[in-house]
Structure 1
Amino acid sequence: MTPATAPRPAAWTTPAAITARVAKRWDNGALLRGRASGEPFEPIAVPLRGPKAADLAEHLEEARGWVATLDRASKDGRAFRIHTKSVGGRHLGRTELPARAMIETFDQAIYLLGKAPQVQRFDEVLAASSHVPQVWDWVVAHPLTALGLAEQWPTILAALEWLERNRDSARYLREIDEPGVDTKFVERHRSVLASLLGVRPGEAAFAADLGLAHKPTFVRLRFDPQVLGFPAGITEASLRTTELAALRPRIKQALIIENEVTYLSAPVPAGGMVIWGKGFDASTPASLTWLAEVAARGDVLYWGDLDTHGFAILNRVRSHLPGVRSVLMDRETLLRHEARWGSEPSPTSAYLPHLDEDEAALYEDLVTGRYAPALRLEQERLDWAYALRRLPPHSQLSVKDQCT
């Protein structure tokens, strides 16, 4: 039987391959995590692929060079220890060849990887965190992330202390006064601070979970003054959502409109209001609880673009206001305005569970391009006389407003 061909020297295990095996433990955080938690070091055994006894005659000089290279890389055992095996041949006698590289201690692993400076910085982060148990636990659980933040860690701890001290204070982040900490720093490291504090990382959610103030949202609306109890000369306002939610307006009907100019043009319903939905911000006014009561009666209308995103916004509004009805977003309106069709830049095909049967059918036609690819009929392109006939009856105030 012909003996198996010896592996070429290029296929023999190199010091770089040994380092790569150990680097996996560094990259997944196991080395630092074990050091921080005081766990015994788990030895790493790396099998070494090298020449067989029968191949030494063919690759003797290469084999000697390979052994010498491994010896140098071991740094007299400071990086790893070499275990050998005895191999024999009819012509060369028995020879000891490296069989396994053993990394038996944490210090060996760190020396091999050249990570001593990083370990020192990690130890400093641990020491700085030792007085706060949840921070210590977080560092142990996320050692590489903590190491990457070593230079900023004292400032992160200062920000953390201020945030903990000011929970439920209703203060703005702008009021933070810890040395070296400002709003921009907190925003830049919000995800880490949120994880340390056990709150959600989103900008608004972060503030809400900590009981801090957040930039308010506003709702812009036009109205019959009497429904909000305003003086007769005031017909439009932009109010904080929270403050508007606290009001109990005497409202008969409401119209939410996506486009600003259309919002300004539409007549105010008698005893009601027109609300600017601001496109994808339409869920802000839709979250008003008193508006839900009006919607439950079927007296809240939504008017958006006749395109896939228009229906997506309607779907979002209806998730807050199940009773809201759409207006001028139907097949008849679409087909009557064919000469005014346009193209939607980036249509959506998302699942919209809150559309009614007719809306869903038209949405499907838009998604599949039944009438035209990426079809769009913007609401400001609708014939105005046609639109007025479909909108709810307006107040005398609205008529005057339209004529001035």
Structure 2
Amino acid sequence: MTMLTVAEARAKARTRLNKSMSTWATQPGPVVLEIALHPPTEKQVLDDQRAAMEWAASWRTIAAPAPASALAPDTDTAMPKISDNPVIDWTERSWARVGRQQVPLRLRLGTPETVANFVGGEEARQWRRLRDRTATIRSRFCDKRPATSAKVEYVAASVDPLASAIKAHAKRILGLGPAEFTTLLDVVEWLRDHPVGTLRPRQLPIRGVDSKWFETHRSLVTALLEATGRSEAVDVLDAEPRIRMRILDPELIPSGLSDITAPVTQLSQLAIAPRLVFVFENLESVLAMPDWDDAVAVHGSGYAVDNVARLAWTHRARVIYWGDLDSHGFAILSRLRKHLPHVDSTLMDEATLIDHRDLWVQEPKPHTGVFPELTGTESRALARLRAEGDVRLEQERIPWATALAALTAKATSAGESAPMTGEQG
């Protein structure tokens, strides 16, 4: 096996540092990262004695052999120990043709700081930044959580919510500039300590914080507030989800409005009772729908499709879903069906996929999950697109005439009405 160079060992340590940085920052303790150095055999030394000597010398600059007094009884290697400096286990080889030689056997890095010092460069700077910011967050919030019940205190003894929040958002914390990090702490502290009432992000009395700042950092603020025991403090700052919908039947239109974008709770309170609700992942499909008796079309907005189920009148209507023919389209359908089990789908079958093979594209990040809410037909379509190499057929690529015919057939199959005129909406 090839002798491991210092550069190669650094690369291994760098990989470990990047992978474990958030864990080491939130769970202080020894690391004891051991890297085997693969010293040469006698034959390798004889083949290239100069290379072997230079290799050993390069490791001697990292950590020279320990004096004899540091060797363990009955062994030729240094005692393993946790150290703030790199430790190399050296061993003595007695070769017939080369003689006695001290060779490095393995490298031990006993603490995160030791790993960072050995790695150096930007990774070491990132580690120290995350270490210091973790300490700052802890000093600011760790001992100021509100009183909890005995049950909660018992759970908290084994689970550190602040550590979990920092670990989950380590990249975001690292990516903040110094001023942004200070502002983050100020926002979390202010929200934790003050009743927010009906304040909007624009009204927070913290310099530099507005709705755009809050939109960018909302998830991190929320995670830290949850860790401090004040998860409810950010609720009022969450803008209520909005849904866009078109009322396709002129008889259902309130006050002459047919194309509406409004908060979910307001749309849910509309005095309408459509018999048919189309839910489309693609907004253009919603806008293209013609007039249709007793029907509305709702934009599902991808994984925000849960909000459709919050519209009270959808639970009393027949719901037809049409999404992209890809893994995420089926994931979204499955998600909606958890809330509205009676949802039917259209144009999400194997035949539609095959009929439009020339319109396929590659799905960049396919969903690999399992969706028990799918029907047999839908599951077979999902299996087929995966078998074809994770392809996708985007909803908007299907010719509109084909789509409208399929929607009409699906609606009329259960006795619902067809489009009034076939004209575009």
TM-score for the superposition, normalised by structure 2: 0.56
The separation in 2 between residues aligned to 1:103 and 1:16, in whole angstroms, is: 15
Contact kept? 1:222, 1:235, Cα under 8 Å: no
**Pair 1:158–1:76, CA change in 2 (3 A):** farther
Match of 1:62 in 2: 51
The separation in 2 between residues aligned to 1:101 and 1:41, in whole angstroms, is: 15
- Deviation per CA, 1:78-126: give whole Å up to 9, x if none: 963444333334455x423213244354354333222664454334313
The separation in 1 between residues aligned to 2:118 and 2:94, in whole angstroms, is: 31
Match of 1:217 among 220, 227, 243: 243
- Deviation per CA, 1:121-144: give whole Å up to 9, x if none: 334313421121278524764696
- Deviation per CA, 1:234-263: give whole Å up to 9, x if none: 4757373422423555x5855659756775
**SS at 1:12 equivalent:** coil
Match of 1:290 in 2: 313
The separation in 1 between residues aligned to 2:333 and 2:168, in whole angstroms, is: 42
Match of 1:202 in 2: none
**SS at 1:28 equivalent:** helix
**Pair 1:209–1:345, CA change in 2 (3 A):** farther
Match of 1:243 among 251, 266, 276: 266
Letter in 2 for 1:103: R
For residues 289-328 of structure 1, what are the structure 2 equivalents within 5 Å?
A: 289-293=312-316, 295=317, 300=318
Contact kept? 2:356, 2:398, Cα under 8 Å: yes
Match of 1:128 among 125, 136, 144: 136
User: Quick check: 1:29 aligned with 2:17?
Assistant: no
- Segments of 5+ residues of structure 2 without an aligned counterpart are 67-83, 143-159, 364-369, 386-392
User: Quick check: 1:46 aligned with 2:31?
Assistant: no
The separation in 1 between residues aligned to 2:119 and 2:335, in whole angstroms, is: 53
The separation in 2 between residues aligned to 1:207 and 1:219, in whole angstroms, is: 31
The separation in 1 between residues aligned to 2:14 and 2:222, in whole angstroms, is: 30
Match of 1:98 in 2: 103
The separation in 1 between residues aligned to 2:49 and 2:345, in whole angstroms, is: 85
**Pair 1:283–1:378, CA change in 2 (3 A):** farther
User: Quick check: 1:12 aligned with 2:3?
Assistant: yes
The separation in 2 between residues aligned to 1:15 and 1:164, in whole angstroms, is: 48
- Deviation per CA, 1:278-307: give whole Å up to 9, x if none: 5768986664323433x3xxxx586989x9
Report the structure number with the largest CA radius of gyration. Answer: 1
The separation in 1 between residues aligned to 2:404 and 2:309, in whole angstroms, is: 22
Match of 1:109 in 2: 115
The separation in 2 between residues aligned to 1:62 and 1:326, in whole angstroms, is: 68
**Pair 1:165–1:275, CA change in 2 (3 A):** farther
**Pair 1:166–1:292, CA change in 2 (3 A):** farther
Identity %: 17
The separation in 2 between residues aligned to 1:236 and 1:58, in whole angstroms, is: 85
Match of 1:277 in 2: 298
Contact kept? 2:195, 2:233, Cα under 8 Å: no
Give the CA deviation at 1:343: 9.0
- RMSD across aligned C-alpha pairs, in angstroms? 5.7
The separation in 2 between residues aligned to 1:143 and 1:20, in whole angstroms, is: 25
Give the CA deviation at 1:218: 4.2
Contact kept? 2:27, 2:163, Cα under 8 Å: no
**Pair 1:161–1:304, CA change in 2 (3 A):** same
The separation in 1 between residues aligned to 2:45 and 2:201, in whole angstroms, is: 71
**SS at 1:220 equivalent:** strand
Letter in 1 for 2:40: G
The separation in 1 between residues aligned to 2:166 and 2:307, in whole angstroms, is: 41
The separation in 1 between residues aligned to 2:356 and 2:93, in whole angstroms, is: 80
Query: After alignment, is 145-154 or 74-83 more displaced?
Result: 74-83
Contact kept? 2:321, 2:343, Cα under 8 Å: no
The separation in 2 between residues aligned to 1:261 and 1:45, in whole angstroms, is: 61
User: Quick check: 1:155 aligned with 2:183?
Assistant: yes
User: Quick check: 1:137 aligned with 2:163?
Assistant: yes
Match of 1:203 in 2: none
**Pair 1:49–1:323, CA change in 2 (3 A):** closer
